[in-house]
Amino acid sequence: MKQTLLVAASAPGLQGVGGFLIDQMLNVDGVQPVSFAGIINEKAAAESKRDRLQSFEIFPPYNEWYTDQINSVAGAIKRYLVHRTHYDQHVRNQADLIEHYMLSQQPEQLWLILNSLAAIDVAYRITNAFRGDIITQIWDDPTHLCRQRNVDRYSRSRTHKRFRQLLDRSTRIGVIGEDAQKAYRPFSNAPAVIVRYGSGEQTPDVSNQGNDPAEFRIGLAGSMYATDAWEALQRSLDQVEWTIDGRRIVLVVAGNKITFSANSNAAATFRGWCNQTELRSLLAECDCLYLPQSFSSRSRELTELSFPTKLSDYVATGRPVFVHAPAYGSVARFCRRNQFGTVCQSLTPDDILETLRPLVQDPQKVEHQSQASVRVATEVLTYEAFASGTRQLLGIEEVD
């Protein structure tokens, strides 16, 4: 493996998907320790894992979020000018410092995870004169990053231009799924490698059919980005007073910042954050696992081009998966390609209940969907595929 400098707006071991994925990639067999330039603050640095890092430096970011509400054109222009002046100066300083760090580390390749606006802007600057391999890795589309941070249209335009130029400069590109692979193909001749987390566990046990025939437990894990789908599910359960064919519906949730809403007698268990072992055990006790993606046009790029890591944890339990997503969603498409999952493509309560009811009523349907989860866990979302994708991205293996 070539001497590598990793630049990212996250760090191995941090709570959240980014820290988890970086840690997992660094621990793949064949991946040698790398130098690390983190666009993170001191608190994140203190919580980072460094056992797979050859060297570690941080370059704290400037706030890239627009959080204030502006109701006039003059106010918007002033905010744009003030933010752009300070932000651009900070990014230039960061890039200069990282280039100085690069001189001390002498990397043969740059591994650039484009998971923030600052990461894109810094990567654009430090690759201008770099002569080695340039590896870019994308988890979320820049349109989503810009909308999430509520930045102005001029900054959005510049971010997209720099993002496309980075893809054009790349030797290899890492993407999270097939839909992103297709979407970014026009911007680069570099091979786009799918690096998508897969479980390394043994074949899932499908013998568990829930704990109580009087209950139907729906599990949910991780952060909630699809509040429209989640709220629609709860409204649909209100419509039947949280009971389907005599079985009490119970939501079992492990995550943070999850909002519950009910206008009838609801039942839910909220566990907050769990480690992976606790999470797998909790999810395995459920009758099905709920995976929503947003239907909002503002979140279209996130829904269409990202791929939730939690799906690998879901299928590793051998439980049926209830996907609640629009037809263009990456998970809905994944289900169609792999003949897997129960998919609802509507926010209407009647449609949601109609899609969910067979899982509550029909043991054969549950058995069939459990077997489909096992097949995806052991043939598609495997640790071997994740490890091979990581090695291909970093130039350790030839790209398929």
Phi and psi angles of residue 4, each rounded to the nearest 5 degrees, phi first: -125, 140
Residue 306 makes CB contacts below 8 A (sequence gap 6+) with 139, 140, 141, 144, 176, 177, 180, 330
Q: Dihedral of the CA atoms 326, 327, 332, 337 (nearest 10)?
A: 180
Average per-residue pLDDT for the chain: 93
Residue 298 contacts residue 144 (beta carbons within 8 Å) = no
What pLDDT, on a 0 to 100 scale, did the predictor assign at position 205?
67
Q: What's the pLDDT at 321?
A: 98
Residues of the chain scoring pLDDT < 70 = 67-69, 200-211
What is the pLDDT, as a whole number, of residue 16? 87
- Do the beta carbons of residue 103 and residue 1 sit within 8 Å? no
Give the model's pLDDT for residue 275: 80
pLDDT in tens, 68-113: 667 777 777 777 787 878 899 999 999 999 999 999 999 999 999 9
DSSP string of 42-68?
Answer: HHHHHH---TTEEEEEE-PPPP----S
Sketch out the chain's domains with CATH numbers: 4-198+383-393 (3.40.50.2000), 215-379 (3.40.50.2000)
Per-residue pLDDT at 235:
97
What pLDDT score was predicted for residue 338? 96
- pLDDT tens sequence across 246-257: 999 999 999 888
The confidence score (pLDDT) of residue 238 equals 96
Tokens of 343: 């998919």
Distance of CA 204 to the CA centre of its chain: 23
Q: What pLDDT is recorded for position 332?
A: 98
Question: Do residues 69 and 75 touch, judged by C-beta distance below 8 A?
Answer: no
Q: Quote the CA–CA distance of 329 and 295 in Å, as a whole number.
A: 9
CA distances in angstroms from 234 to 60, 256, 261, 266, listed in the order given? 40, 18, 7, 9
Cα dihedral across residues 54, 310, 182, 147: positive or negative: negative
User: How many Cα neighbours within 13 Å face the side chain of 388?
Assistant: 9
